[in-house]
Structure 1
Amino acid sequence: MKKIWKLWLLSIVAVFLLAACGGNATEEKPKVDETETSQEENKDAGAEEAYPITLTDAVGNEITLEKAPEKIVSMMPSNTEILFALDLADEIVGVSDFDDYPAEAAEKERIGGQEFNVEAIIALDPDIVFGHESAFGLSEEGYQQISDAGIPVFVVKNAADFDETYKTIETIGLLTDKQEEAEQIISTMKEKVEEVLTKLENVEEEKTVFVETSPAPEIYTPGQNTFMQEMLDMVGAKNIADDQEGWFVMEPEELVDRNPDVIIVMYDYIDTAVEDVYARDGFDTITAIKEEQVIQVDENITSRTGPRLAEGLEAIAKAIYPEVFSE
């Protein structure tokens, strides 16, 4: 199972790289159709229902819902976390094989992973399926088959920063008639982010950081135009891999030469992940090794663009500047 997860991780890295080179069609943000009553108009009027509602998804497809969905399928862990946080546990009838949070997700019907089971999804007869832009390129035919069966499929944007994550939560809340719950989630996240950044205001010396998303011999790391880069910028840390774009392999010798103050390990499918970094030949000259600053951080809370992302920012900040959070 650990090997399977590693393959999944690397496949997602590949998908993100492809997405970064994609066309403008995937860059359009979800919007309310101007022919329908907008979200703001509904709030101002105090309306209990926002339906019928028409929205355009991340790949330019338009869907219309006549009422709040009573049966929902989620095809991505981040979508699932948002839906559960919106108090839609009873409405969720299917989730992907990789959904592991919250614990209740394990009780839902599994519809597959990267190669999802179209027949199983159709058999669940959902009112809406929430897909994801990061996987769309590899699964477009399957998405079309679901749509052809008369089931609305909404492809959620692959959020690149906190603002787009907030927009995603807002949009899913709008489609599911959970606007107030979405606003509360976003408000809580923003409060946590502000709390973390306030604590970091007095940091005087910027630390250099290397983020490792897969182990040797192919040590992947995120560079520019990644969510991790944004997080490091937010907490005031220097990414030693910011001279390249997206995810790429850094050779061990190069890592040694760049000599980070902190090494963050972002995977847990190897029980000895941190110990293995300390044990690598030639790494004993790296400051992070000498100062015992190799820290493991839960990848799920830093890569899933959902309600726990603010916790992920805090975890990154604590890993880099532990002294600030021990005061």
Structure 2
Amino acid sequence: MKKFWQLLLTAMLAVLLLAACGNDKKKEEAPDSSDQTSEETTTDEVKDTTYPYTLNDASGEDITFEKAPESVISLLPSNTETLFAIDAGDKVIAVTENDDFPAEVAELETVGNFTVNVEKVISLQPEVVFAHEMMLDSSEEGINQIREAGIPVVVVPNAGNFEETYEAIQMIGEVMDKNEEAAQVIEGMQAKVAEIKEKAATITDKRRVFVENSDVPEIYTPGKNTFPQQYLDMINAENIVTEDGWVMISPETIVNENPDVIVVMYSYVPDIIEKIKKRDGFDTVTAVKEDRVVQVEENITSRTGPRLADGLEVFAKAIYPEVFGE
């Protein structure tokens, strides 16, 4: 059971699943799951950060930097991935135990997992700490302790969709004076999303999909206003779940809805694909009969950072391999 909740919390750290312990229900900052389009980022007129530089972060604090930070601690995997993607990875001196990408982070100091080791953060004396808005409820006291020690903490806002993810990347780029690099990352993401949506536009026979985020006896699944729903909208697929947010669903309901594809977004259960196929009544489900129960890599499909467009591609290949396969 402990491993189960650790998995849920890992997903929470990436895409705000906010899985609470005990009997609390899963919930998420409600993103706009509509098929958004916006002006694409361009590097043509990107300017360097002008210092002193002040930003107002997600906690409402005004933080001023006299120069680009030379030493950084990241308290969330998506922040870490962003720092490395914008060519600021050489400034990162510590991360959490949950960080696993890119490979270089394995060599760095760690400052806790879901609980931040505040004393160690302060002892390392970074020039900035990148935290996250969803940490405010559980770690606000620790964040304040770090600030009281004279270390700036930037609380990166929750990202509920692609646009907000782009904004978070841009924010980190501005702090680190890596504006052009951040713009290039965003351009690359936007180009991949556009390519995937163009292919998806050719799909005429929509597949009905069930996305599973935890195993029995408490099966949770994303509905409207979630990242997976945005993925499904972008690739022209239909979610069998119509409720809002993350909801618990019974195996009987899944059987009755008869999805064409089942996407599994976790890996904490060994041989989960075969176990799903052997659930009572699942032998009648189209996804099982046609061997379309697919497990996807949870970190790529859930972290709101530079690999988010890769996560969209993973979903696309899982649901429509004949369209998006190599």
**Common fold by TM > 0.5:** yes
Please show how residues 166-185 of structure 1 align to structure 2 within 5 Å.
Answer: 166-185=166-185
Task: Give the aligned residue type for 1:140.
Answer: E
Q: State the match for 1:37 in structure 2.
A: none
CA distance 1:287–1:82, shift in 2 (3 Å): same
Please show how residues 1-327 of structure 1 align to structure 2 within 5 Å.
Answer: 2-3=3-4, 5-6=6-7, 8-9=9-10, 13-14=17-18, 17=26, 20=29, 48-241=48-241, 243-326=242-325
Identity of aligned residues (%): 51
SS in 2 for 1:14: coil
Output one character per residue of 1:127-180: Cα deviation in whole Å (capped at 9) or x when no partner: 111111122211111111111111111111110111111111111000000001
In 2: Cα distance, 1:48 partner to 1:251 partner:
53
Shift of 1:57: 1.1
- Provide the aligned C-alpha RMSD in A: 2.1
SS in 1 for 2:210: strand
In 1: Cα distance, 2:48 partner to 2:18 partner:
43
Shift of 1:211: 0.5
Shift of 1:2: 4.4
TM-score by length of 1: 0.88
Output one character per residue of 1:281-301: Cα deviation in whole Å (capped at 9) or x when no partner: 111111101111001111111
Q: State the match for 2:34 in structure 1.
A: none
SS in 1 for 2:252: helix
CA distance 1:192–1:183, shift in 2 (3 Å): same
SS in 1 for 2:89: coil
In 2: Cα distance, 1:80 partner to 1:164 partner:
17
CA distance 1:83–1:9, shift in 2 (3 Å): closer
In 1: Cα distance, 2:233 partner to 2:245 partner:
15
Kept in 2: contact 1:143–1:153 (CA 8 A): yes
Kept in 1: contact 2:94–2:111 (CA 8 A): yes
In 1: Cα distance, 2:83 partner to 2:8 partner:
26
In 1: Cα distance, 2:68 partner to 2:76 partner:
20
* Higher deviation after alignment, 110-119 or 48-57: 48-57
SS in 1 for 2:203: coil
CA distance 1:234–1:272, shift in 2 (3 Å): same
In 1: Cα distance, 2:282 partner to 2:299 partner:
27
TM-score by length of 2: 0.88
Kept in 2: contact 1:19–1:134 (CA 8 A): no
Task: Give the aligned residue type for 1:173.
Answer: G
Shift of 1:279: 1.4
Output one character per residue of 1:67-123: Cα deviation in whole Å (capped at 9) or x when no partner: 000010000000000001111222101101100011111111101122110000001
Shift of 1:48: 4.9
Shift of 1:244: 1.7
Q: Which runs of 5+ in 2 are unaligned?
A: 21-25, 31-41
Kept in 2: contact 1:15–1:134 (CA 8 A): no
- Between the two structures, name the one with larger relative contact order (CA 8 Å, sep ≥ 6): 2
Task: Give the aligned residue type for 1:6.
Answer: L
Q: Which runs of 5+ in 1 are unaligned?
A: 22-39
Kept in 2: contact 1:212–1:220 (CA 8 A): yes
